[in-house]
Structure 1
Amino acid sequence: MFSISFRAFLCGFIFLLTTSVTNAQTTPSDAELNTFYDQLNAYRTARYQPLPDLEALQLPSTFSGADLKALHLQERHIVRVDLVYTAFRLNPTFNQRQLNLSRIRNLASGLPGLLQDESVTWTLVEQTGCNSPTECQPFFHGFVVYVARHATAATSRADLDSLTRKLRILEKKRPKAAKKALGKKVACNLPASRFSNRQMARSLRRLYHCPQRDAQVVKFELAVAADGTIQTVKVLPSARPLCIAELEEAIRKSVAFHSGFLVAGKVFPFSAKGAIRLPIGPLQLLGEADMGFTNFTLPDSAARLYRVFLKHKNKQHKNDYCEARITKSGELLAASDTAAVELPLPPDANVVTRVMQRHPEWSKEVVVTDVTGSMFPYTYDLLAWLQLSALEDEKTFVFFNDGNDQPDKDKRVGKTGGLFQVRTDSYEAIKNKLIETMKAGGGGDAPENDAEALLYAQQLTGPNSTPTDLILLADNYTFPRDAKLLKNTTAHVRIILCGVRDYINPRYLALARKHGFSLHTIEGDIEDLSKLLEGETITIQGQQYQVTKDGFMLVQKT
């Protein structure tokens, strides 16, 4: 929401311009500015709408004014800047790029160091919904600056109080059962396919004729009705080109189930995940590994009543089976509903739960979690998931708070501190360690010490776990200040991105591509980015990104 007036913001910039004697020295050169501009995210939209769950400040293109104190920027940090303009031009020779460069130069002069701050996300937004000066007049032109308040001891206490209050509500609703035996064990049968993996691969071979022949493993998801009917087919984002619509139709015709997911004598609709190895080879050479299912999940309503665990007898996922336990009817649902209405939450507030439910095979990974102020909804989601799930084995958790409240100016890359760890199968022990971490510090500025925490977690696993599998809960709009520490890491990191509002931070895409990491959002999993070549374009969750020399940039947004 636009919570600060135009006048206050305009006045603030004049104050800063008149009080900073080093501004001229920090103005970027033409070459630096053009290099910066060429890496900016850019998309078109009919009319710009600010993000509803971030605090936004409007700065019109003709900004001027006085009294920066009215902005209280000393209490806030910038997390994102959108430069908004319209596509309509009266003069066909008009150069929008030069005007944008001039505006960015003026802003950089007013805020020294802004262009060098890697924690800030920049976006060019071209509005296409007007075709005349009269129509375009009410459209906003200028900068929209998104800010977040610095974490302080007071805000940390407030977050901690809210967290403990919500957890108490959840704990009162928790079924009173043994930790490792959540509810009575009930019968469970995985959905039975009408065809073997080889038969499905043979059918795909006959139906899929796409000219793209790049070798790759393509993942897909199915929504299946209780009677076994395929409802929807979705091919997940791929690093290599393929004919998505044709492949989805081929999957639809090649897959069939006898019925839904059978649990406790009841049949439920379900979701299935699978993988296909492309290109599909000659019929006589097709085997079990060319196509198969990797996971089955119940819908949320049924998952609250039955805790289902998928088991694998071998690494090839052959002879898979499931185990299930029934919970007290309605208690988990009531706990979830009560917690949800206490505080306004972001749209992806349950991203941790959703990703963990998608990946029951993540059993031995070390969990590394940012517990600073911006991550509060997701910290709660992690604990809620842990409380409502039975930990069958000990698991290592590393919590970090970006320096135990030391001043931002004293933080040193690789030596920031604020790292706490626990290895246990006890929910109470995990909760207590997380609360201890939050009490020790709230974060301060925007970028955190994620890489330092990852390397610390890797050391805890010892020499017998190479490569180490780590799960990192990270803030999508706050990129780590110390990512360069991962230069020589051998760890395999699965990054759960929290706070993905309209697109994925391209810096995380670049990090994943560089080190072979995977990214996970509430909508899906993004893998194999390291196979992309410079100049290639990939569509991820409806948005198009291009691989550049330095990373990724958003080039189109739906």
Structure 2
Amino acid sequence: MNYFFISVFIFVLSEQMFAFTIPSSFIIENAHQQFIPQLVQDKKNGNKIYIQTPFASPVIISSVNKDILKKKTITQIELVYTTYKLSEKFNQTELNYNRLEKLRKAAPFLFTENTIEWVFTAQTACVSPADGKNYFHGFVIHFRSEATLEEAKREVEYLERLLGEKTSQVTEDVFVKQGKFKMAHVDMLAEFNGGKTALNNHIKENINYPEKNSNTRIKGIILTSFTVNENGKISDVQLVNGSNTHYDSVVVEMIKKMPLWKPALLNGRNTSSTFVLPLKFYESGKVEVAQSLLKENDGFDYAEYLMLNQGLTMVPIKETPVITAKEVKLTLPDSSVFRILERNTEWNHLLVAVDVTGSMYPYLAQVLLWYKENEKPFSPKVKMVAFFNDGDNKPDREKKTGNVGGVYTGNYLGYETLKNNMKFAMAHGGGGDREENNIEAILNATAKCPDCTNILMIADNFATPRDLSLTNQVIHPVHILLCGTHFGINTHYLNLARATKGSVHTANQDIVNLHKLANGDEIEIEGMYYILQQNKFEQVLKKRNP
């Protein structure tokens, strides 16, 4: 099976308003295609909205709450259908097109986002029209969960563990030399088709635990690793630790029976990677992925595994050295912040503004660890640091542009101060809606730091600043480190950098001199193209470079 990410989009003028829009024909041609027997609706998952159409019909029969969708950070839209057709003349592509157009009519703003992944999910087990009525047809809207104070507190605790404050973690000998956990060198990890729910269903169907008449039960985590090649095929299945029971072979066989995965992505292309899968066995007989160790897009945390799995015979944690930044960064979802900061050492008199909302938690550890490793050479360059959380969990309806709050500033006095201020800001708010108060944070901090002549903003590519109308008050260049750019650049950040004579930086590329571009000029960023039109950037339709 072939997979394609929608990585480039065309923006055209609609007849009713001036807006960017993605043609349905382009979505059909480039959507990420996957095949499953039948979709099982996970309505308890608060990060999904189901929009239903009947079997063989494009009509949307469920309500579409546009106000709710507009407030969400949507990461994926999944069009779900069945492959069964009564007549050879039936045109599935035409039906998919019509369903997309119905969705466009109901919620046109969904077709203006260049950071959304489009997926077509074909259900293959349907055998008749009557059977088809038992299958879900329509759209599944996936979005990021809104951070809460409780989640913020948990993330602070996680950062402390990661930084070795409460526990040492794992030796370089285990982490680096064995080479089993170097997953962070890819831009996006491999993924089981259908996500964690489908993966747990596969586990349940293929592991009979406990077996009848068996007196043997295991409790704890069996840790496995395997290779997912560029075509999604699994090989080299290994048990990193086993139970020393026959369940070890059962686990290996279960993994070998897995269907094709979505392969990892590196620089926009499928690549082979190692995947570490922790399986938790309960005394009750339940077996599932150890969720606390394997989070969405976060990869596998070996340090947490050592702390949680008391059944392993290992060197006591207190005798292992504290892990260093260079080792820890291998456990993070990607290394974009590390790469950018290591490439750009020329900035001086810096104000560093950091988004600490829930969407940024996976990247904040990189910020802290990089500073910890580079404190001496870098500290003279940083004059002030501002952490912003978009309002200290203030209700969205009460947020006023320029006065949202949740901005914590302080002179840069070293790593410990940076760490404590970040933790404080995280613990007091997680954001809420999809917009953040980036410009407010900059203006607040520059008023306190007249010596700050360069601004370094560490920002979420998925979240547009709510206060871009205040950009004309920013008097210094803004250098923007963008996190989460797998499916394209949020053009608002290109416009902000250009307006302030700053720059934009991704994991693999530094985009400078934007203010020197003229209308009609094009730039290429990680295989995607953007054109300057009427002093604003737009993404244009071109095939991603190989």
How high is the TM-score relative to the length of structure 1?
Answer: 0.52
**Aligned residue number for residue 413 of structure 2:** 425
Q: Aligned to 1:385, which of 359, 370, 373?
A: 370
**Aligned residue number for residue 517 of structure 2:** 532
Change (3 A) 1:380 1:45: farther
Measure the CA separation in 1 of the matches of 2:103 and 2:370: 46
Measure the CA separation in 2 of the matches of 1:34 and 1:551: 14
Does residue 457 in structure 1 map to residue 445 in structure 2?
yes
- Deviation track 1:502-526 (CA, whole Å, cap 9, x = no partner) reads 2212222233233322001110101
Aligned residue for 2:486, secondary structure, equals: coil
Q: Tell me if the contact between 1:81 and 1:121 (Cα under 8 Å) persists in the aligned partners.
A: no
- Deviation track 1:85-143 (CA, whole Å, cap 9, x = no partner) reads 9xxx999xx999998655312235xxxxx579x9x65769699xxxxxxxxxxxx9975
**Aligned residue number for residue 403 of structure 1:** 391
Q: Aligned to 2:459, which of 474, 486, 489?
A: 474
- Supply the AA of the counterpart residue of 2:104: I
Q: Aligned to 2:144, which of 145, 148, 151?
A: 148
Aligned residue for 1:443, secondary structure, equals: coil
Measure the CA separation in 2 of the matches of 1:174 and 1:164: 15
Measure the CA separation in 2 of the matches of 1:334 and 1:157: 23
**Aligned residue number for residue 441 of structure 1:** 429
Aligned residue for 1:539, secondary structure, equals: strand
State the 1:172 CA deviation.
4.8
- Supply the AA of the counterpart residue of 1:472: M
Q: Aligned to 1:37, which of 1, 18, 21?
A: 21
Change (3 A) 1:525 1:456: same
> Which runs of no fewer than 5 residues in structure 2 stay unpaired?
1-12, 35-45, 81-88, 121-135, 172-319
- Supply the AA of the counterpart residue of 2:74: V
Measure the CA separation in 1 of the matches of 2:117 and 2:47: 19
Measure the CA separation in 2 of the matches of 1:41 and 1:431: 48
Q: Aligned to 2:360, which of 365, 370, 375?
A: 375
**Aligned residue number for residue 265 of structure 1:** none
Change (3 A) 1:172 1:81: closer
Measure the CA separation in 2 of the matches of 1:417 and 1:40: 40
Q: Tell me if the contact between 1:121 and 1:477 (Cα under 8 Å) persists in the aligned partners.
A: no
Does residue 78 in structure 1 map to residue 73 in structure 2?
yes
Measure the CA separation in 2 of the matches of 1:336 and 1:103: 46
**Aligned residue number for residue 48 of structure 1:** 32
Measure the CA separation in 2 of the matches of 1:148 and 1:125: 15
- Deviation track 1:252-300 (CA, whole Å, cap 9, x = no partner) reads xxxxxxxxxxxxxxxxxxxxxxxxxxxxxxxxxxxxxxxxxxxxxxxxx
Measure the CA separation in 2 of the matches of 1:48 and 1:38: 15
State the 1:173 CA deviation.
7.6
Aligned sequence identity (%) = 28
**Aligned residue number for residue 106 of structure 2:** 106
Change (3 A) 1:502 1:332: farther
Change (3 A) 1:124 1:168: closer
State the 1:360 CA deviation.
1.9
Aligned residue for 1:546, secondary structure, equals: strand
Q: Tell me if the contact between 2:393 and 2:431 (Cα under 8 Å) persists in the aligned partners.
A: yes
Q: Aligned to 1:491, which of 453, 460, 476?
A: 476
Taking the TM superposition and a 5 Å limit, the aligned residue runs for 1:226-237 are none
**Aligned residue number for residue 530 of structure 2:** 545
State the 1:353 CA deviation.
1.8
Rg larger in 1 or in 2? Answer: 1
Q: Tell me if the contact between 2:325 and 2:370 (Cα under 8 Å) persists in the aligned partners.
A: no
Taking the TM superposition and a 5 Å limit, the aligned residue runs for 1:44-443 are 47-48=31-32, 59=51, 62=58, 64-66=60-62, 77-80=72-75, 102-107=102-107, 121=114, 145-168=141-164, 172=168, 336-337=326-327, 340-341=330-331, 345-346=332-333, 348=334, 350-391=335-376, 392-393=379-380, 395-443=383-431
Measure the CA separation in 2 of the matches of 1:355 and 1:431: 20
Q: Tell me if the contact between 1:399 and 1:420 (Cα under 8 Å) persists in the aligned partners.
A: yes
Q: Tell me if the contact between 2:393 and 2:429 (Cα under 8 Å) persists in the aligned partners.
A: yes
- Count matched residues: 342
Aligned residue for 1:497, secondary structure, equals: strand
- Supply the AA of the counterpart residue of 1:537: E
**Aligned residue number for residue 555 of structure 1:** 541
Measure the CA separation in 1 of the matches of 2:403 and 2:449: 20
Change (3 A) 1:453 1:39: farther
- Supply the AA of the counterpart residue of 2:389: N
Measure the CA separation in 1 of the matches of 2:328 and 2:459: 26
CA RMSD of aligned residues (A): 4.6
Change (3 A) 1:34 1:107: same
Q: Tell me if the contact between 1:42 and 1:125 (Cα under 8 Å) persists in the aligned partners.
A: no
Measure the CA separation in 2 of the matches of 1:501 and 1:555: 17
Measure the CA separation in 2 of the matches of 1:105 and 1:524: 37
State the 1:32 CA deviation.
3.3
Change (3 A) 1:538 1:332: farther
Q: Tell me if the contact between 1:42 and 1:554 (Cα under 8 Å) persists in the aligned partners.
A: no
**Aligned residue number for residue 126 of structure 2:** none
Change (3 A) 1:498 1:171: farther
> Which runs of no fewer than 5 residues in structure 1 stay unpaired?
1-28, 109-113, 128-139, 176-329
Change (3 A) 1:146 1:530: farther
Q: Tell me if the contact between 1:516 and 1:528 (Cα under 8 Å) persists in the aligned partners.
A: yes
Q: Tell me if the contact between 1:76 and 1:147 (Cα under 8 Å) persists in the aligned partners.
A: no
How high is the TM-score relative to the length of structure 2?
Answer: 0.53
State the 1:427 CA deviation.
1.0
Does residue 501 in structure 1 map to residue 499 in structure 2?
no
- Deviation track 1:231-266 (CA, whole Å, cap 9, x = no partner) reads xxxxxxxxxxxxxxxxxxxxxxxxxxxxxxxxxxxx
Taking the TM superposition and a 5 Å limit, the aligned residue runs for 1:7-18 are none
**Aligned residue number for residue 506 of structure 2:** 521
Measure the CA separation in 2 of the matches of 1:36 and 1:46: 18
Change (3 A) 1:368 1:548: same
**Aligned residue number for residue 300 of structure 1:** none
Q: Tell me if the contact between 1:41 and 1:555 (Cα under 8 Å) persists in the aligned partners.
A: no
State the 1:541 CA deviation.
1.3
